[in-house]
Amino acid sequence: MKLELHWKIIIGLVLGLIYGVFAAANGWGGFTTNWIAPFGIIFINLLKLIAVPLVLSSLITGVASLSDLKKLSRIGGKTITIYIATTAISVTIGLVSVNLLKPGDTVPENMKVKLQNTYQSAASGKMEAADQVKERRPLQPVVDMVPSNFFSSASNNRNMLQVVFVAILMGIALIQIPKEKARPVLDFMEGINDLVIKLVDNIMLMAPMGVFALIADTITSVAGDNLSNVLELLSALGFYMMAVIIGLVIQMLFTYTAVLKIFSKMSLKKFYKGIAPAQLLAFSTSSSGATLPVTMERCEDELGVSEEVSSFVLPLGATINMDGTALYQAVAAVFIAQTLGMDLTLGAQLTIVLTAVLASIGTAAVPGAGIIMLIIILEAIGVPSAGIALILGVDRILDMMRTVTNVTGDASVAVAVASTEGQISE
């Protein structure tokens, strides 16, 4: 019997976990970094390599195949409304979870001092990065979406929104020029699209090995060669992690189930079976950007979402819809305040809802981006941003989990939008 892809990836993940723990216990950090980690980097690079051509070719052909532009703005409006609503719900779930569990009250006094000393320098690096974000003007995110040179946008995966913008512009113009002129361009783009989808299939053959290497390397970088450090961290921050994880699980179980039930007829079994490989990749790479090609392929091939919807909804979602990140930011902000003995008023908690929704939109789809935007939330509610030193030690682990939620959220909205547009095939 042929093993399904997600099982192969799970096997890679579990073996990576076992190897990683062994390596940390036996001091094999150097060997892992030199001989195992590179396979993970190769795998992530291959995925990133195809993201720009995939978004460009599928979005241009998707938009150009639309009969009228009203439809495009309708799909756009729906997508953004559901994205923002689910993110706001996610933040609220996070706030309820952290206020009920009160994880900040459980950190031992000596551990607070130790954490702050250990992660002080790493924290100040993140604070500098946040300063750069803060100095921007209010309309800067909109300005940033419009590139002055397409090749420079296409040269950096962080500029995915610019690529989306250019692709939409080109798709619209292709509708407006004579058919015989548009045809060759569209045929070419359709060819590129098929080619890239095949590349995704081929790259995924390497997924079990890539995931093994990524997980082994992550454990090495979190644990170093001293496993007892991790255990100490996990016990001090266990409640905080639980508050985040419980929130993420509730968001997946309730919010996404509701989105699927309200807007589509898809069974949860079909949905989760279809996107499991994307979720596993999100977990192993901690990057919704790197996972994007697989999310798109699974939504189209397994869930039946039309290319027109998936090529618009998913790249947009990978860049702006981060429910897991927003939830984590809310829990982390309150946890830090609790640990520092500060009481947050209702006003401050409402500020968190607003800033976390905005901050998650501005968070890049790469590992560790969420904690940089967290600093901006902390400053908005008057909590010292150096407090992130308290949570840095376990941030990578939570990053893996919140990225799974981010990707699941994007896929559920793609199914919802496609269903309401009658663009889902059995």
Output phi, psi for 265, to 5 deg: -105, 10
Q: Residue with CB nearest ligand ASP?
A: 370
Site string for ligand ASP, 244-283 (x = CB under 6 A): ----------------------------------------
| CB of 289 closer than 8 Å to CB of 51 | yes
The nearer residue to ligand ASP, 216 or 366, going by C-beta atoms, is 366
The nearer residue to ligand ASP, 74 or 396, going by C-beta atoms, is 396
E strands within 283-423? none
E strands within 62-166? none
Least distance CB 328 / ligand ASP (angstroms): 7
- What do you get for the CA distance between the two ends of the chain, in Å? 25
In order of 256, 308, 316, 366, the CA distances from 194 in angstroms are 30, 14, 21, 26
Question: If we measure between CA atoms, which residue out of 238, 247, 228, 394 comes closest to residue 330?
Answer: 247
- By the rule CB under 6 A, 286 interacts with ligand ASP: yes
Output phi, psi for 424, to 5 deg: -130, 135
Determine the Cα–Cα distance for residues 379 and 362; give it in Å rounded to an integer.
Answer: 16
| Contact stretch for ligand ASP (CB under 6 A) within 243-251, 306-314, 367-375, 418-426 | 367-375
The nearer residue to ligand ASP, 72 or 327, going by C-beta atoms, is 327
- By the rule CB under 6 A, 76 interacts with ligand ASP: no
The nearer residue to ligand ASP, 61 or 319, going by C-beta atoms, is 319
- Figure out which of the listed residues 44, 236, 365, 414 binds ligand ASP, where binding follows CB under 6 A: 365
In order of 8, 11, 270, 393, the CA distances from 4 in angstroms are 7, 11, 14, 35
Least distance CB 308 / ligand ASP (angstroms): 24
| Contact stretch for ligand ASP (CB under 6 A) within 61-69, 187-195, 383-391, 400-408 | 400-408
- By the rule CB under 6 A, 325 interacts with ligand ASP: yes
Binding site for ligand ASP (CB under 6 A): 286-289, 322, 325, 363, 365-370, 399, 402-403, 406
